[in-house]
């Protein structure tokens, strides 16, 4: 798939243009410069139906503590792109930082197109700042306004004509990547885990909470299988600024779109943060793997107390597999990916109707259904109606006759006998009686 990158100094409108081109609010936008620090990927569908990958990058020559890290990451990202879209503020004119970025881009040997932004009115194109942009010497200029959708269709049309054709695809459809959202409280080691899995520093890491400002999607392959790792901003219990609130919303959205959640926890500090994230994953039926990070720092005498803390903080995730990790030493990270694949595949397993009803007969023989005020519960039929998360429907004479203890018995049997012990699933009782309804229980 062809790759195109948006680059430029902070606050020139790269993320706004990125959102407009991908067709949704994918990147964080804020009036404060430097919101985007990592490289974010999005898919753009051209008129022909062809898809390209668009990269939103951190602001170059930012003048802050992140300047060197951002430049290194943008430089690595530009190695594999086909075209660079150099964004400048079309109303502010060319600044010294723009000239330095232009000189740096020339050294990379990539095709560079100049994209002045924020040109909401056609008259802006006839003013002095636009002539300064032409003086940068990158040939054709593509004036745009993300807010007023000016020039964006022309830009996409020009990209479609200029990009090299995609290599012929195999007759077999490509395997869909597994989306893994790495979530947790700020500064718990999420970005370090992502970087270690990738074998390079794709996202910025620092000993400062809140370094990751937006959800960052990174595609890679492991063992011949495609993945998308989503490094999310640390979710705070009580966001104090609008930007932090938006970061929290974006992290929660990333979790909802994930196939698997990796909840990274610090064995020395846990509480409501982790409980809230676990609840969100359970509500969506997302398979969750607990990554107990920084395990290399736990002394032998502290192993049992640390495990007890996890048990007490996250009792509703007692079924979720645990992987003890250290991003610093690479300990447990291959096991972490393998476990994520395992729960992903388990959540997509489908039990045949005949097999399921055969098990129902076994279970009801082992533990006869209860009586409700002298009326016995009858299970007529069962089927699995959905996957990811698995949903089991049981047709009964009345859902009112289902006692809590018998419901738990059936949940335990589904977990143990059908192999769904490590993933959340839903059990729905549907009554045949007119006065009845349905009762839904999510296994926890």
Closest C-alpha to 239, from 276, 199, 194: 276
Domains and CATH numbers, the chain: 3-162 (3.40.50.300), 178-346 (3.40.50.300), 353-442 (3.30.300.20)
Which residues are 117's β-sheet partners?
A: 89
pTM: 0.64
- At 243 the pLDDT is 42
- pLDDT digits 0-9 by tens, 271-309: 888 888 888 899 889 999 999 999 999 999 999 999 999
Label each residue of the chain as H, E or C.
CCEEEEECCCCCCHHHHHHHHHCCCCCCCCCCCCCCCCCEEEEEECCCCCEEEEEECCCCCCCCCCHHHHHHHHHHHHCCCCEEEEEEECCCCCCHHHHHHHHHHHCCCCCEEEEEECCCCHHHHHCHHHHHHHCCCCCCECCCECCCCECHHHHHHHHHHHCCCCCCCCCCCCCCCEEEEEECCCCCCHHHHHHHHHCCCCCCCCCCCCCCCCCEEEEEEECCEEEEEEECCCCCCCCCCHHHHHHHHHHHHHHHCCCEEEEEEECCECCHHHHHHHHHHHHHCCCEEEEECCHHHCCHHHHHHHHHHHHHHCHHHCCCCEEECECCCCECHHHHHHHHHHHHHHHCCCCCHHHHHHHHHHHHHHCCCCEECCEECCEEEEEEEECCCCEEEEEECCHHHCCHHHHHHHHHHHHHHCCCCCCCCEEEEEECCCCCCEEEEECC
Q: How confident is the model at residue 174 (pLDDT cuts 50, 70, 90)?
A: low
Q: How far apart are CA 143 and CA 130, in angstroms?
A: 9
- At 204 the pLDDT is 40
Q: How confident is the model at residue 207 (pLDDT cuts 50, 70, 90)?
A: very low
- pLDDT digits 0-9 by tens, 372-391: 888 899 999 999 999 999 99
């Amino acid at each position: 798939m062809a790759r195109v990158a948006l680059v430029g100094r902070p606050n020139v409108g790269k993320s706004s243009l990125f959102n407009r081109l991908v067709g949704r609010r994918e990147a964080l936008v804020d009036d404060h410069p430097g919101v985007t620090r990592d490289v974010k990927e999005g898919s753009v569908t051209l008129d022909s139906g062809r898809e390209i990958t668009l990269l939103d990058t951190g602001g170059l020559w930012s003048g802050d503590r992140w300047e060197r890290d951002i430049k290194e990451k943008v430089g690595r990202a530009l190695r594999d792109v086909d075209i660079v879209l150099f964004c400048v503020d079309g109303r502010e004119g060319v600044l010294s930082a723009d000239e330095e970025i232009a000189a740096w881009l020339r050294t990379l040997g990539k095709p560079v197109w100049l994209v002045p932004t924020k040109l909401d009115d056609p008259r802006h194109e006839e003013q002095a700042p636009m002539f300064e942009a032409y003086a940068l010497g990158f040939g054709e200029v593509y004036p745009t306004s993300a807010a007023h959708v000016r020039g964006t269709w022309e830009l996409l049309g020009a990209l479609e004509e200029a990009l090299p054709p995609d290599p012929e695809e195999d007759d077999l459809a490509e395997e869909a990547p597994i989306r893994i959202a790495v979530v947790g409280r700020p500064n718990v080691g999420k970005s370090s885990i992502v970087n270690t899995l990738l074998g390079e520093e794709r996202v910025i890491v620092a000993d400062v909470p809140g370094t990751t400002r937006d959800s960052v999607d990174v595609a890679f392959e492991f063992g011949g299988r495609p993945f998308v790792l989503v490094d999310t901003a640390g979710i705070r219990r009580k966001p104090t600024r609008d930007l932090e609130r938006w970061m929290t919303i974006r992290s929660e959205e990333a979790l909802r779109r994930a196939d698997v959640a990796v909840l990274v926890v610090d064995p020395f500090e846990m509480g409501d943060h982790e409980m809230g994230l676990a609840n969100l994953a359970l509500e969506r039926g997302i398979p969750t793997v607990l990554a107990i990070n920084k395990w290399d720092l736990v002394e032998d005498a502290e192993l049992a107390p640390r495990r007890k803390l996890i048990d007490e903080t996250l009792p509703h995730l007692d079924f979720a597999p645990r992987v003890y990790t250290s991003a610093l030493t690479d300990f447990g990270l291959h096991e972490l990916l393998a476990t994520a694949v395992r729960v992903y595949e388990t959540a997509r397993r489908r039990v045949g109707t005949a097999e399921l009803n055969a098990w129902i007969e076994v279970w009801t023989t082992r533990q006869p259904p209860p009586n409700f005020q002298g009326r016995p519960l009858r299970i007529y039929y069962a089927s699995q109606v959905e996957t990811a998360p698995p949903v089991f429907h049981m047709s009964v004479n009345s859902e009112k006759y289902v006692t809590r203890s018998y419901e738990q018995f059936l949940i335990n049997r589904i977990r143990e006998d059908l192999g769904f012990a490590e993933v959340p699933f839903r059990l729905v009782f549907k009554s045949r009686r007119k006065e009845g309804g349905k009762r839904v229980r999510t296994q926890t």
